[in-house]
Amino acid sequence: MRTRKTDILILGSGGAGLLAALAAHDRAPELDILVAVKGLFGKSGCTRMVQGGYNVALSPGDSAGSHFLDTLEGGAWINDQELAWTLVSRAPDCVRRLETVCGCFFDRNPDGTIHQKAFAGQSFDRTVHKGDLTGIEITNRVSEQLARRGVPVLEEHRAVALLPARGGEKRVAGALLLDIRTGEFLAVNAKCTLLATGGGPTLYRISACAQELSTDGMTIAWEAGAEFCDMEMVQFHPTGILTGEGLQITGTLLEEGLRGAGGHLKNALGERYMARYDAGRMERSTRDVVARAGYTEILEGRGTGRGGVFIDVSHLGREFVWKNFKGMAERCRDLGYDLAGGPVEVTPTAHYMMGGVKIDPACRTGLPGLFAAGEDSGGTHGANRLGGNGVANSTVFGEIAGEAMAAEAAGAPLLPFDPGAARRAEEAALSALGGEGSPYPIRAALKDLMWEKVGLRRTGARLQEAIGEVEALRERAARTRAGGGKAYNLAWQHVLDVRNQLAAAELIARSALERDESRGSHFRDDAPHPRPEGLYNIFMRKEGESFRMERRPVRFTRLRPEAARPAPVSSTVD
């Protein structure tokens, strides 16, 4: 096993990892910073896939207070309000730095101000964008800045475990990485470690995420004893492209800007079915409502023969569609659809995990030395994330994590990691190698059961069945051994992937069973309404071979649900 020392180790190079590395370097350029990414730098993860944009209050007619209330209402009032306020209050300066420091150039109005478009679930058009390819703009420009600063990057290195400090010190002292190209292990000793690997609900049959994501960061944090919150809250986007059976591209997004611009959702009968579910907001309702509406139309027989519904923007005009949604129009054309000319068949698609590792507003977890940002962390979005708050979340909290780690690492000693823990983690990863088993039937079974029993509509009975089936699949996965050698063995990597996905699946199912009401993205057919006593968060932590779960009342540190739309909230973060 090779070893390496660094001051700051960043796992992941999406929006959170990129902004963390940039902020840490610019605050303390004398520190050693190392970025490790499972895929290729600047070409993997979900931030690059962001089409729609970035929510931020920039207009004189808008305010951080209004953005804050939209975020709480969208999250069904179980958000961590300090995290939500940190998001909305820091977003304006973060966008300005993306432009002035990194060179991002977002779309403009004729007067030169940044253009902001309409997204669902918001009281103001506040979504900053670069056409419908916003994520590529952010990823490319920030990656260039890290290259200019000479920040080292390890590509195709996956994290397989967090490493505790030697001698019983309760601190994370780095991580064990697996070089996918060679099959060799690298133990990185670090003062501060950031989880920024992205969540990615690829454990569902239809998903919109980068397919290399497999909840790696969440799984290693769980094994290390980090506390998690609200894992039952999984977001399904309403409009994933429906393609031929078995094609991996099924579920790829048609972004929310289509609905914000006036797109119509129709069932196979030609009805604008959102009138049945939210007649006031129609297609501009929040994602949880719209996705569940489409799923219900399909379940009740008003969907297409392939199990979909339609989105139609043709009435907006061909010139408008191609000017404003060029990326999506081209993607649809490649798949045989004419976005500007008629309806496109779509399906709800698993998109984002609102739950995750519990953090404070400085991105610290409950484990000293470990930070988390982006989709690995939970609490900011509550029960449902507003479209456009995702890339804002990753970049804002990525910056915060970088600043906090730089400040901590500057004055902290480098504690050595426990070599016994590193060896045990290496042995656990190698246990997935050296046989004839295949992870693919297990992965397929997991995707099906999560879609059918832990998906858009749930019941207690189905959740109980799912927990049992996940446990059985975990036993199968533990016995599975991929054949072949260690170098670039994708079957081996997929065994490790499915083990991680199964761990996350159990957390989602158990947390969903615990929440015996419907709220936001979590809908129970056997408890179809939110309950007044449901304003709580579900916390989980591993304890030995078992776990502890508890409900804690939501802390209304700034606003209460009964509050009318307030004046802007004070800009001081407590």
- One digit per residue, the tens of pLDDT, for the chain of length 574 reads 999 999 999 999 999 999 999 999 999 999 999 999 999 999 988 898 888 899 999 999 999 999 999 999 999 999 999 999 999 999 999 999 999 999 999 999 999 999 999 888 899 999 999 998 899 999 999 999 999 999 999 999 999 999 999 988 889 999 999 999 999 999 999 999 999 999 889 999 999 988 899 999 999 999 999 999 999 999 999 999 999 777 778 889 998 889 999 999 999 999 999 999 999 999 999 999 999 999 999 999 999 999 999 999 999 999 999 999 999 999 999 999 999 999 999 999 999 999 999 999 999 999 999 999 999 999 999 999 999 999 999 999 999 999 999 999 998 999 999 999 999 999 999 999 998 889 999 999 999 999 999 999 999 999 999 999 999 999 999 999 999 999 999 999 999 999 999 999 999 999 999 999 999 999 999 999 999 888 999 999 999 889 999 999 999 999 999 875 544 443 333 2
Q: Which of 329, 349, 346 is nearest to 338 (CA)?
A: 329
565 is catalytic: no
HSE on the CB side for 23, CA within 13 Å?
Answer: 24
Question: What's the confidence (pLDDT) of residue 244?
Answer: 76
Q: Which of 485, 554, 468, 480 is nearest to 84 (CA)?
A: 554
Taking CB atoms within 8 Å and a gap of at least 24, the contacts of 438-443 are 438/480, 438/482, 438/491, 439/477, 439/480, 439/482, 439/491, 439/494, 439/495, 439/497, 439/498, 440/494, 442/473, 442/476, 442/477, 442/480, 442/498, 442/502, 443/494, 443/497, 443/498, 443/501
Query: How many helices (DSSP H) and strands (DSSP E) are in the chain?
Result: 14, 19
DSSP state of 115: P
What type of residue sits at position 2? R
One of 1.25.40.10, 3.90.1150.10, 1.20.58.100, 1.10.10.10 is the CATH number of 421-528+538-553, namely: 1.20.58.100
Question: What's the confidence (pLDDT) of residue 200?
Answer: 87
494 vs 443: CA distance, rounded Å: 9
Classify the C-alpha dihedral 507-512-516-519 as positive or negative.
positive
Question: pLDDT digits over 117-128, tens only?
Answer: 988 889 999 999
8 Å CB contact between 180 and 357: no
- Our CA dihedral for 201, 121, 96, 104, rounded to 10 degrees, sits at 50
Taking phi over 0 as left and psi of -120 to 50 as alpha, with beta for the rest, 126 belongs to alpha
HSE on the CB side for 401, CA within 13 Å?
Answer: 36
Per-residue tokens: 209: 């995420």
End-to-end, the C-alpha distance of the chain in Å comes to: 44
Q: Which of 277, 527, 224, 228 is nearest to 376 (CA)?
A: 228
Question: Angle formed by the axes of helices 81-100 and 64-74, to 10°?
Answer: 130
Q: What residue spans define the domains of the chain?
A: 2-233+354-419, 237-351, 421-528+538-553
Question: pLDDT digits over 271-282, tens only?
Answer: 999 999 999 999
Question: What's the confidence (pLDDT) of residue 568?
Answer: 42
- Our CA dihedral for 272, 278, 282, 287, rounded to 10 degrees, sits at -110
Q: How far is CA 381 from the centre of its chain?
A: 11
505 vs 202: CA distance, rounded Å: 10
**Catalytic pick among 171, 259, 292, 351:** 259
Provide the strand spans (E) within 313-368. 344-353, 356-358
HSE on the CB side for 162, CA within 13 Å?
Answer: 31
381 is catalytic: no
Strand partners, 553: 536
Q: How far is CA 297 from the centre of its chain?
A: 26
Q: Which homologous superfamily does the CATH classification assign to the domain defined by 2-233+354-419?
A: FAD/NAD(P)-binding domain (3.50.50.60)
The CATH number that domain 237-351 falls under is: 3.90.700.10
Question: What's the confidence (pLDDT) of residue 570?
Answer: 38
Question: What's the confidence (pLDDT) of residue 437?
Answer: 84
How many Cβ atoms from other residues are within 10 Å of residue 163's Cβ?
27
Question: What's the confidence (pLDDT) of residue 565?
Answer: 53
